[in-house]
A and B are shown apart, each in its own frame.
Chain A
Amino acid sequence: MINLSDGGTLCPRLVVKGYNNCMFESVEQIQELLAGQNYVAERSLATAIYLALRLGKPLFLEGEAGVGKTEIAKVLSQSLDTQLIRLQCYEGLDVNSALYEWNYAHQMLHLRLLEASGADRSEMESNLFAPEFLQARPLLQAVEVSANGQTPVLLIDEIDRADEEFEAFLLELLSDFQVTIPELGTLTAKTPPIVIVTSNRTREVHDALKRRCLYYWIEYPTFQKELDIVRTKAPDVEPMLAREITAFIQELRRMELFKRPGVAETLDWTAALVALDQQTLSPDIIADTVGVILKYQDDIESMSPEAIANLLDRARIQADIER
């Protein structure tokens, strides 16, 4: 059941000024928290997350596909032991699918019942638009959960896929965290949810939206960081193989590719090589599994046997240097 103020009068707006009761005192705590969930984050990212929590502002994460943007929201919700509410964006996403929808079929049935029992119009109306017919979509769910005193993690994934109309709608929600349903009243989040907005930058998101958020650009990881990720996510991989995989991917990213492999691809490839019982990289096995890391025909074509041998040589040197 949802706690809504009765229709007509608006709730007094709560002045939300960040998490003054935020349980984190320093950037180090965030780093530990993420490490506890096997998420390897550099200090800059931990600082951004820490500030987002302290200031109670949404965190806008931008970066190439597969660098772990969505993962941050999942890890945060797990480590804070709160609910993760996810809104996947797409073109044409509207209020009905993002915020709330009435259950029309039930309303229609109810209307018939009311009619049979001889109710008058005002009674009908107040009966029909009751909370029991309301279907909360992700954004309303997030506000609801926060209004009940908890702090969920709200993930607004791939905002660049949504259209400008939806962006404009989000502006209002992200600054006030309150939702007005004309028939029922206004629901306000006591403490704002932890909001993570991600974008693959398939288009530029409007400055007005970014202004309401903290901005963080996630780069492809460095050799050491990626090696840490591979080791934490695939603990049973041979140490030498892990080095070679990481170094190879790092070399690959320096090539002019249509789509450079992300961390997700590195992990998939590691899993594939482990499944194939490989102890070390060889040109043949790379040629056989290249479809795991490269997803465009042009990129795969550019991986001739010579190119693979060349990359592997450089990767081995790299793996040795970093040892």
Chain B
Amino acid sequence: MHNHERTNSYLGPDGAPYHGGHLLHNLILFGRLCHALGMDITPNRMIEVSRALEFIDVSKKQDVYHTLRTLMVTRKRDLELFDEAFKHFWQKPAEGWTTLDLQSLGEKRHKKKTQFLPPPGASPENEHSPEPKPAADPKLIAVVPTYSQQEALRYKDFAEMTREEMLMAQRIMERLPWSLGRRTVRRMKPGKGATLDMRRALRENMKHSGEIINIPTRVRKIKPRPLVVISDISGSMERYTRMLLHFTFTLANSIYQVEAFVFSTNLSHITRQIERRSIDEALTEVGNSVNSWGGGTNTGASLHDFNYHWGRRVLGRGAVVILITDGWDRGEPDELRKEMARLQRNCYRLIWLNPLLEAPEYEPLTRGAQAMLPFVDDFLPIRNLANLETLVRKLWRVSWRRPERPSYSHLIQTTGMD
């Protein structure tokens, strides 16, 4: 669209000086491009960029590149995106160059569309429209489930729910009072405690001419714990995936700080996708960004990825981890054991939610389940609404004291790799 403005104002390889307002103009266009690509760019920042360019030799493309990079990127994850945008934007336009090239940059973020498995009983046309809209469905707002309906729904398996029942269940789930255990942090605030608050002591006792009569004290502040949700989206979990993502979305919207991951054969970080205002948007975003839906399960490798690349960043500050999987695993049990042990060591509490747990005739006898079981602090079902209510109560009570953990170190084989 702004092609004609750009044609004679690229950063030339000959280092010719710039005349007129082309550089500034292009800079602004570039800023808008980066903004459109999801980077954190403010108009103020662009003013600083233009100021910064006065200080360097703009004929040196490398220096311009470093300058823009230092000023316009504020997150590691944006570095790569910026590099590509820079490469494409600040180049001599080739013949037949169009703005489409730039648009395609943005499109790289939108990969193939993923269809969620529709609940049984959904009509064929529903299968084509990717998402029903629970909140906007006027019929549903009118339908307030009666007590007995709710009761029946409470114990119904998520996998067997019809579309209407699922929407109703989701609305009930959203209304549950989600909250997570809390912890005392190191920050102090005024309150009844053992630590003397000297600042206030002096102020309040000035009127008594330095005679200490009031003894104000400080106590430690209490804050909610962060939560990490890691859910299995492999083939065996397919019937629950939709509901569980909704569950993750609900948690992300009710709890202070939630990091969300999904895995099948590999791990994906979906916190940014799930942090949307509506569940539909969130699910679409998750669908677009994750490309390992419904595949096999490699829990060990996925947890390895989590432990090595995310653990240090999201498990600080006494985080609670909720791991949702049915325990069917095709990976190496040894690796799984090792990674489970590490995960448990690094978090305050590890809760395993299993949709099959209360299913008739289910016993956690699979190799995967056997490998995981010793390393979880809680093992709970997540099959129907009643289970969720139990979970709510459990999370409220995540106690102040660390759960007791027997040593299972003998279960972990120490073998040399490579």
Binding site for B on A (CB under 8 A): 18, 26-27, 43-44, 47-48, 50-51, 54-55, 57, 60, 62, 90-92, 94, 96, 102, 104, 107-108, 111-112, 114-115, 121, 124-125, 128, 163, 165, 201-204, 207, 210-211, 214-217, 256-258, 298, 301-304, 306-307, 310
Contacts and interface: CB of A to CB of B under 8 A. Distances in A.
A26 B66 CA distance: 13
Contacts of B52: 51, 54-55
Given A47-B67, A203-B316, A211-B74, A102 B206 contact: no
A121 B207 CA distance: 8
B185 A91 contact: yes
Interface size, B (range): 35 or more
A111 B314 CA distance: 49
Contacts of A203: 313-314, 316-317
Interface stretch (B24-32, B40-48, B393-401): B40-48
Contacts of A104: 198-199, 201-202
Interface stretch (B54-62, B231-239, B362-370): B54-62
A44 B51 contact: no
Given A55-B51, A102-B202, A304-B417, A207 B187 contact: no
Closest 5 CB pairs of A and B: A92-B186, A304-B416, A111-B210, A47-B66, A307-B418
B276 interface: no
B51 to A, nearest CB: 7
Given A204-B313, A258-B307, A26 B185 contact: no
Binding site secondary structure of chain B: helix
Interface in B58-90: 62-63, 66-67, 69-71, 73-76, 79
Contacts of A47: 56, 63, 66-67, 70
Contact of B210 (A50, A62, A112, A307): A112
Interface of B: 40, 42, 45, 48, 51-52, 55-57, 62-63, 66-67, 69-71, 73-76, 79, 185-188, 198-199, 201-202, 206-207, 209-210, 307-308, 312-314, 316-317, 338, 342, 414-418
Nearest to A59: B70
B57 A26 contact: yes
A111 B187 contact: no
Contact of B199 (A44, A102, A207): A102
Contact of B66 (A48, A54, A298): A48
Contact of B185 (A51, A57, A92, A121): A92
A140 to B, nearest CB: 16
A48 B70 contact: yes
Contacts of A114: 210
Nearest to A163: B187
A44 B188 CA distance: 41
Contact of A210 (B75, B316, B342): B75
Given A108-B202, A217-B79, A92 B48 contact: no
A303 B313 CA distance: 26
